[in-house]
Amino acid sequence: MTINPPTDPAALCLGAPILLLFAFLVYVALAFVKDQGDAQRRRADLDQTMAELRVDQMSQLAFRWLVARLMEQQGYQVTWLTFDPDGPEPDLGTDFVVSKDGKRYAVLAIRYSQRPLSPGTIRRALANRARYGCDAAMVVTNGTLSGEARRLAQASGCAVIERPTLGVWITTGQQAGRALEDGSPAL
C-alpha cells in the first residue's frame, strides 16, 4: 500500500493552518496545566509560611503587631492609636494609621479566618477613615472577604489585603523571617 501525499493545492492550504491551530491548542493546554500546578504550589507555600509563623493561632494583638511591622518594612510610617474606654466616641476597631507618600490610611488588622469577613468590617474601616482624618481605609486580614464585602470595598476605595497578599508581604519582606522577633507580643 502506497501513501501518496496530497497534491491538491486546496488540501495543502488547509493542512498547514489546521496543524498550526492544533500545535497552538496543545501549547495552551500545557500552559494551563503548568499554571494550575504553580498556583497549587504557591498556595502550599503560603500555607506553610502562615503555619511556620503561627499566624492563624496568634492573638489579635500579636497579629496587629505583625501587620504594623510588615507595613514598616514597606516604607509606611505607623502611628498606633490609643482608645479611651471612658471617652465619648466608641472604639470602631482601627488599630493604627499608616502614611506613605503623603497618603494616610486608617488600618483595621483582623486575624480571623473561620469564614469570610462581612461588609460590616468594611463599613467600620470607612467610618474610621473619616474619624481619624485619613485619605483612605485599609483592612488587613489573614482570611478573606465575602463577595459583598469585596464589592463594597471596591466601590468605596477601601484597600484590602487578604491572606494571599499578606503571605506575599511576609515572604518578600526585608526582615519577614524575623517579624515576630525583637520584642513582639506573646502569641
Residues 6+ apart with CB under 8 A from 83: 91
- Picking from 43-47, 65-69, 156-160, which range would have the lowest pLDDT averaged per residue? 43-47
Distance CA 139, CA 152 (A): 12
Please state the domain extents for the chain: 9-52, 57-178
Residue 136 burial class via C-beta count within 10 angstroms: exposed 0-12, middle 13-18, buried 19 and up: middle
12-21, 40-49, 75-84, 176-185: lowest mean pLDDT where?
176-185
Tens-digit pLDDT profile for residues 81-115 = 765 555 555 556 677 899 999 999 999 999 887 89
Write down the pTM of the prediction. 0.68
- For residue range 104-155, what is the model confidence (pLDDT) as tens digits? 999 999 988 789 999 999 999 998 898 889 999 999 999 999 999 999 999 9
For 57-178, the fitting CATH number among 2.70.70.10, 3.40.1350.10, 3.30.365.10, 3.40.50.300 is: 3.40.1350.10
Q: Report whether 97 contacts 134 (CB < 8 A).
A: yes
